Amino acid sequence: MKVILVGASGHLGTEIDKLLSPDHEIVGVGASSGDVQCDYTDVGSVRAMFAQVGTFDALVCVVGRDSTFKPFGELADDDYRYGFERKFLSQLRLLTLGQEYVRDQGSFTLTSGFLSHYPNPSSIATGPLNSAVDTLASNVAPLLPRGIRINVVSPAPVVELGQEGKGVVTAAQAASFYAEAVLGDMTGEVLRPWGGLPTPPSSDCGYHGSTLGTES
Ligand SMILES: NC(=O)c1ccc[n+]([C@@H]2O[C@H](COP(=O)([O-])OP(=O)(O)OC[C@H]3O[C@@H](n4cnc5c(N)ncnc54)[C@H](OP(=O)(O)O)[C@@H]3O)[C@@H](O)[C@H]2O)c1
């Protein structure tokens, strides 16, 4: 399988690379590192990356530095805009522009995070955007052609080996959920390595009966 790993040099990216590279061809992408350089916030840069890499079977996005942490009272428009542009819009862009290059039955795996459900006083420009990414997967999954799949991994905070426990995970633990999303056959799902913390039911924001096509 040819796997584009956007954010390959990061905490999560490094472990996903380790896990998948023995059996799959990994194309590592970073803003300034990797096999191919691409700024995922820039449409032209993303188009050029896909044109350079060509057809692929799976894309995983684990780009860091993608949101702002400040007390709620200090957050301003630009802080929310920063996170929206990266966490939501740039990940969505990888899907919209990548569809042309992904093979039949290929997949996209995006990243959110458990701050959607376990907020702290400085996470308000992050957690709600994680929820948006989760919802994107379940809403768009039924609309993708050619058996293309989309899933999200929502990690808990990543800690060093030996420090894992309730509500925290190692990068290797989180990486195994990305591998599951790439190698499995699920779509529209949010996989949650939350270190044993309670998780919401899966697929709780997909289409329900006749709501498809309505405007509410
Ligand atoms: N780490 C955690 O505790 C944790 C917990 C929950 C969720 N998450 C989420 O998981 C994701 C990855 O986290 P991480 O800790 O692995 O991040 P990280 O270590 O900071 O990842 C950095 C990677 O992102 C790439 N990158 C940064 N800006 C980019 C851009 N504009 N375009 C393309 N690539 C860019 C970097 O490339 P260069 O090195 O070339 O700049 C590098 O490969 C984030 O969405 C984060 O919110 C992380």
Q: Is the CB of 155 under 6 A from ligand 1?
A: yes
Which of 159, 168, 82 is CA-nearest to residue 126? Answer: 82
Q: What is the pLDDT of residue 102?
A: 98
Q: What is the pLDDT of residue 191?
A: 98
Q: Which residues pair with 30 in a beta bridge?
A: 37
Q: Is the CB of 113 under 6 A from ligand 1?
A: yes
Token readout for 179 is: 């591998």
Note the pLDDT tens digit of each residue in 121-162: 999 999 999 999 999 999 999 999 999 999 999 999 999 999
Q: What is the pLDDT of residue 209?
A: 47
Specify whether the CB–CB gap between 25 and 185 falls below 8 A.
no
Coil, helix or strand for 101? coil
Best of 5, 12, 38, 154 for a ligand 1 pocket test (most atoms within 8 Å of beta carbon): 12
Coil, helix or strand for 196? coil
% of residues, the chain, pLDDT over 70: 93
Q: What is the pLDDT of residue 212?
A: 52
Give nearest CA residue, ligand 1 atom 46. 64
Specify whether the CB–CB gap between 166 and 97 falls below 8 A.
no
Specify whether the CB–CB gap between 115 and 126 falls below 8 A.
yes
Evaluated on CA atoms 112, 116, 119, 123, the torsion sign reads: positive
Q: What is the pLDDT of residue 164?
A: 87
| Residues of the chain below pLDDT 50 | 209-211
Q: What is the pLDDT of residue 204?
A: 56
Q: How far is the CA of 196 from the centre of ligand 1 (A)?
A: 23
